[in-house]
Amino acid sequence: MPEPLTLLYQDSHLLGVHKPAGLLTHRTALDAHADDDLVTRLRAQTGAPVWPAHRLDKGTSGVLLLARDAGTARLLGDRFADASQGAARHIDKRYLALVRGWPADTGETAQPLARDPELASAGQAHLPACTRWRVLQRLLLPLSTDPRHEHTRLALVEVQPLTGRRHQIRRHFKALAHPLIGDATHGKGPLNRALAAHIGHHRLWLHALQLSLPHPITGTALVLWAEPGAEWSSWLGGSGLISGHRPARPASPARCPHAPGNGHGRSPA
């Protein structure tokens, strides 16, 4: 019997849940052999139906918001669809990510992304996508995965996706030559394996830290926070930059171009 999911928030309309890494948000043909998912678990745990307002990739942990009735699900669906296109400024998402190399202290990328990351990008529509980041900590590990270098550079970054394309954070950091550690699709396999052995923990190092939005029914401000797992602070030496960390107030909106079409349900992670 799996452990009960940690509830971050609940009322008669909404549930906020801490999704564990390695668990699907819901069943999908992309992982047809998986026999476990968050929606099924949560329905069993609460004894009632739930509707996810957005998705997190299987390897990503952290804040996930769900509706408890169909009407609220429709309202949230519209809002998250707008946010996916960069049109809604009232939904703010923050992530923690561990990346290869040392990016600039702060930055923003607006590289368009192919609609479907599972297919070759040539010939596909490319949609506007915007991602901001700031470096929280730079790391130099006594680990070599390249004979030209004695050490491995990593950075812990706070990421703010301003649109919601599928795998947006992972694809944008790959394009920046700073792929996420543990990313089997967009990352570097030899580095991922070497670091998993060095750290003693294998996962995609991406965590949905905070979700801020107005309540879809009452309009009151909601801020949902999911503390990163112990694996984050333990191997980073207990720096204090993660445990108890709260992101700065939302940055002013970037000038992201608006894309036609519905991006609802896509995960920026």
Residues annotated as catalytic (active site), given as ranges: 57
CB burial class (10 A; 0-12, 13-18, 19+) of residue 245? buried
Spatial separation of the C-alpha atoms in residues 97 and 244, rounded to whole Å: 16
Torsion of CA 89, 92, 97, 100, to 10 degrees: 10
Q: Where is 46: in which H helix or E strand? A: helix 38-46
Spatial separation of the C-alpha atoms in residues 192 and 176, rounded to whole Å: 17
Spatial separation of the C-alpha atoms in residues 231 and 61, rounded to whole Å: 12
Please report, as a single letter, which amino acid is at residue 4: P
Torsion sign, CA atoms 67, 72, 74, 75 = negative
Q: Where is 191: in which H helix or E strand? A: helix 189-199
Q: What backbone phi and psi angles, to 5 degrees, belong to 71?
A: -65, -45
Spatial separation of the C-alpha atoms in residues 222 and 65, rounded to whole Å: 11
* Cα distances (angstroms) measured from residue 79 to each of 36, 89, 210, 265: 28, 10, 17, 11
Q: Do 173 and 179 meet the contact criterion of CB atoms below 8 Å apart? A: yes
Spatial separation of the C-alpha atoms in residues 152 and 165, rounded to whole Å: 30
